[in-house]
Amino acid sequence: MSRREFRASVRDPRPTSAWAMVLVASTTLWITGQVAPWAMAISLGAMAYSLTRRGEPRPWQSSPLLLNLAMGTIAAVTLALALRGGPSTIALAHFATLGQGLQLIDSRPRKSEFLLVALSLFQVILAANLTDSVFFPVLLLVYLAATTWTLMVHTLRSEAIEAGDATAATHAISRGLLRNTLLVTGLSVLLALAIFVTLPRMRSSVLHGASARGYAVAGFTNRVELGTIGRIRADSTVVLRVETLAGEAPPTSEGYWRGLAFDHFDGRSWSIEPATRSAPGGSPAFGISLGRPRARAPLVQRIVREPVQAGVLFGAGEARYLEGAVSRVELDANGALYSPGQANERIRYTIHSEGHHPDDVALARDETRTPERRGDRFLELPSFDPRVAHLAEEITRDLGNDAERVRALESWLRENGRYTDRPPDFGQDAERSPVEDFLLEGLSGHCEYFASALVVLARSAGLPARLVNGFAGGRFNELGDFVELTRSDAHAWVEVHYAEAGWVRYDPTPPRLRLSADAAPSLRERLAQAASAIELWWFQRVIDFDSSDQVRAVRSAWIGWQGLREPARAKRGDGTELGGTPGFGFSLPGRDSILVGLAAGLALLLQRIRRPSAAFERLVPSYAAALTLLQKHGLTRDPSTSARDFSERVSQRLPAPGAEAFERLTESYLAARFGARPSDPGTAEIARLKQHLGRRARSR
């Protein structure tokens, strides 16, 4: 019987590493947040029960009827989840999680661990597409080690059973074997990381959709009802992480990142008219020009944006240039940017923007004017209570220029209004607009009411204005050197159009609420900042490290290599060092050396363990000599033939004394291989074998 035909059924309990493998694989799915708590509880319960009963399983754990019935139940649950209309991947995640628990409970003799390993691998593959957590690679490393050890233990036990000594495998499963297993796993991971950096690849994922990254931030569409931002501000989930690459960024308390600009107001909601969008020429991967820059140097920032409704892209002012891993860019009538196909994705882009904010002295020499193209829409208002226009006239009376009038309206709202994220009920079913109630009844509300009120007052005074929403403030992350903005930093403000200055920002909301970000962070907040910095580093250096990053890295490394060859050219004219790969800290030659070294080390290690039979044969020199003798007489042991099968075949070709001599040599070899008891019967058996091989040759 050949080894390929032989499959020994292992009755021993699984090694503890099997439970570690399943637990880690399941955890990779649990951290995605897509597995229901009840499924997690069932899976954990099955793991705990099967582990505690691994030595003495219950009779029902070997019942094919009960086990098949349980598998049918799991299949029915999976089908029910799929028919609910959710993503099929989520249903498959539940199937893998529950199926793994059932496999551990199954205590029947097994010929392989294929199903257990296949289900765990399926879990890890699903998790890889559902999460970009920094904890995933750590879990993956543990998973690889646990899986390798589980398969190795099962193989050794099968071979021990084949050799006729089922207990012999316990001697081979040693600390040295575990050390080599961990070493091979570690080298494999390091080699994979080197290949990850070097080889080109596409930035894509098997899965897309809200289920993959959570739900997109609402409130950023071309139509927004009053009160939307108030609901967003109750959530502290991070939305933007902003790194300043060039230019001078304003202090955090004065930072604004504009999203959408609204021109039409019907008294209860803001919208963008017309709602059509256009696509600017060019590809985001190579950079898109979005307008002629002014004389002032732009502010260059790299932004990592979480999922946002409608795929809005944010920037600190008017966008002039955009570059990044953005699939498609669209512009609306007011110049806002969208990436509609990536609303439910975390994306990274670099944006050049101009925050043109002249002071009041400069604006005093300017005057407000509607834009040339359909500018009248920035003066339109629904029918309001006459007292609103009278209020605007009172506030701006006897002022000399438009800049003073706008500033007076802004100051009046700041000084007389009261900020609250829970404004009073302004009678949504009433005929009067909530903004009228806000202005005439109490001046109590959140930023949307303040900004809407300023637009209404400005337009009532003949000043072209529009409402803008986005994010403002945030907190500076000292560990990661970036500004972090959460949903609670969602904000609304106003832009007024001037003939020379263009659109100028005004913020009528009392600023004291946002100034709370200047307080010293607590220990909990510092830990959260550290986690956020690690997450950003992981996303930019690993998850989002695409072909464009590789091109830039290789370009920088090539310059560094040239600098090493010619030190005189290692510096630019301004004295800054050239070369180095961003985020990696070593040049291309260093990376190639590490890659070659890892490959060579792994090859040597694999070469060392690739022929275990030969290594064991050297433990019993007489057995190796016997194989050489037999080979000279036409009896060669095929690698797929077990030692005992070959001994049985030899016994059919030799007289009994010669066959017995080789059988003793074979048993000595097997003892050394599986029992770690190397012993050599000496040269007497070799002499006897040689004697009978000679007789066999003469008899021919």
In three-state form (DSSP H/G/I as H, E/B as E, the rest C), the secondary structure along 348-369 is EEEEEEECCCCCHHHHHCCCEC
**What pLDDT is attached to residue 677?**
52
- Summarize the confidence of residues 373-402 as an average pLDDT: 91
578 pLDDT above the threshold of 50: no
**What pLDDT is attached to residue 470?**
92
Of the given ranges (56-70, 94-108, 173-187, 273-287), which has the lowest mean pLDDT? Answer: 173-187
Other CB atoms within 10 A of residue 697 CB: 11
370 pLDDT above the threshold of 50: yes
- Exposure class string for 456-470: b at 16+ Cβ within 10 A, else e: bbbbbbebbbbbbbb
**What pLDDT is attached to residue 469?**
92
The SS3 of residue 457 is helix
Confidence band of 44 (pLDDT split at 50, 70, 90): very high
Confidence band of 591 (pLDDT split at 50, 70, 90): very low
308 pLDDT above the threshold of 60: yes
pTM of the model: 0.59
- Summarize the confidence of residues 323-337 as an average pLDDT: 89
Tell me what the pLDDT averaged over the chain comes to.
78
**What pLDDT is attached to residue 573?**
46
Other CB atoms within 10 A of residue 202 CB: 7
Assess contact for 232 and 217: CB atoms under 8 A.
Answer: yes
Q: With DSSP H G I counted as helix, E B as strand and the rest as coil, what are the percentages for the chain, rounded to 5?
A: 50, 15, 35
Q: Rounded distance, CA 215 to CA 279, Å?
A: 26
Angle at 123 between CA 117 and CA 127, to 5 degrees: 145
Assess contact for 156 and 147: CB atoms under 8 A.
Answer: no
Q: Render pLDDT for 539-576 as a digit per residue (tens, 0 to 9).
A: 766 666 655 565 556 666 667 666 666 654 444 444 43
User: In the 8-state DSSP scheme, what is residue 539?
Assistant: I
Nearest to 90 by CA among 218, 211, 233: 211
**What pLDDT is attached to residue 373?**
77
Assess contact for 662 and 653: CB atoms under 8 A.
Answer: no
Q: Above pLDDT 90, what percent of the chain? A: 23
**DSSP strand pairing (347-354 vs 318-324):** antiparallel
**What pLDDT is attached to residue 46?**
92
10 pLDDT above the threshold of 90: no
586 pLDDT above the threshold of 80: no
Assess contact for 330 and 277: CB atoms under 8 A.
Answer: yes
Q: Rounded distance, CA 137 to CA 128, Å?
A: 9
Of the given ranges (86-90, 207-211, 328-332, 621-625), which has the lowest mean pLDDT? Answer: 207-211
Angle at 562 between CA 559 and CA 564, to 5 degrees: 115
Q: Above pLDDT 70, what percent of the chain? A: 73
The SS3 of residue 258 is strand
Residue whose entry in the numeric block shows the structure tokens 């308390």: 253
293 pLDDT above the threshold of 70: no
Q: Render pLDDT for 114-126 as a digit per residue (tens, 0 to 9).
A: 788 888 888 888 8
402 pLDDT above the threshold of 90: yes
Helix (H) or strand (E) holding 486: strand 482-486
Confidence band of 512 (pLDDT split at 50, 70, 90): low
283 pLDDT above the threshold of 70: yes
Confidence band of 414 (pLDDT split at 50, 70, 90): very high
**What pLDDT is attached to residue 674?**
62
CA distances from 515 to 240, 333, 412 (A): 18, 33, 20
Nearest to 232 by CA among 216, 219, 214: 219
Nearest to 360 by CA among 292, 410, 394: 410
Query: Strands (DSSP E) along 306-409, which ranges?
Result: 312-313, 318-324, 330-331, 337-338, 347-354
The β-bridge partners of 110 are 10
- Summarize the confidence of residues 141-167 as an average pLDDT: 77
The domain limits of the chain are 16-173, 547-600, 612-699
Nearest to 446 by CA among 635, 231, 141, 163: 231
Peptide bond into 298 cis (omega under 30): no
Other CB atoms within 10 A of residue 205 CB: 13
137 pLDDT above the threshold of 50: yes
295 pLDDT above the threshold of 80: no
169 or 646, greater pLDDT: 646
Confidence band of 374 (pLDDT split at 50, 70, 90): confident
Confidence band of 344 (pLDDT split at 50, 70, 90): confident
585 pLDDT above the threshold of 50: no
**What pLDDT is attached to residue 264?**
93
Nearest to 399 by CA among 436, 370, 369, 360: 360
Of the given ranges (380-389, 492-501, 592-601, 674-683), which has the lowest mean pLDDT? Answer: 592-601
**What pLDDT is attached to residue 42?**
93
Q: Rounded distance, CA 213 to CA 202, Å?
A: 20
Of the given ranges (308-312, 521-525, 527-531), which has the lowest mean pLDDT? Answer: 521-525
Residue whose entry in the numeric block shows the structure tokens 């790299």: 302
Q: Render pLDDT for 441-463 as a digit per residue (tens, 0 to 9).
A: 878 888 889 999 999 999 999 99
Q: Rounded distance, CA 585 to CA 569, Å?
A: 20
CA distances from 373 to 325, 382, 501, 504 (A): 32, 21, 16, 18
204 or 349, greater pLDDT: 349
Q: What is the DSSP string of 164-209?
A: T-TTTHHHHS-HHHHHHHHHHHHHHHHHHHHHHHHS------S--S
688 pLDDT above the threshold of 70: yes
**DSSP strand pairing (465-472 vs 347-354):** unpaired
Angle at 302 between CA 296 and CA 308, to 5 degrees: 115
**What pLDDT is attached to residue 91?**
87
Those residues whose C-beta lies under 8 Å from the C-beta of residue 176, and which sit 6 or more positions away, are none
700 pLDDT above the threshold of 70: no
Q: Rounded distance, CA 462 to CA 392, Å?
A: 10
**What pLDDT is attached to residue 565?**
61
523 pLDDT above the threshold of 70: yes
> 3-state SS of 583-652?
CCCCCHHHHHHHHHHHHHHHHHHHHHHCCHHHHHHHHCHHHHHHHHHHHHCCCCCCCCECHHHHHHHHHC
Q: Rounded distance, CA 20 to CA 673, Å?
A: 28
Q: Rounded distance, CA 79 to CA 88, Å?
A: 9
488 or 589, greater pLDDT: 488
Q: Render pLDDT for 464-510 as a digit per residue (tens, 0 to 9).
A: 999 999 999 888 888 888 999 988 888 999 999 999 988 999 999 98
**What pLDDT is attached to residue 69?**
93
Confidence band of 601 (pLDDT split at 50, 70, 90): low
185 or 307, greater pLDDT: 307
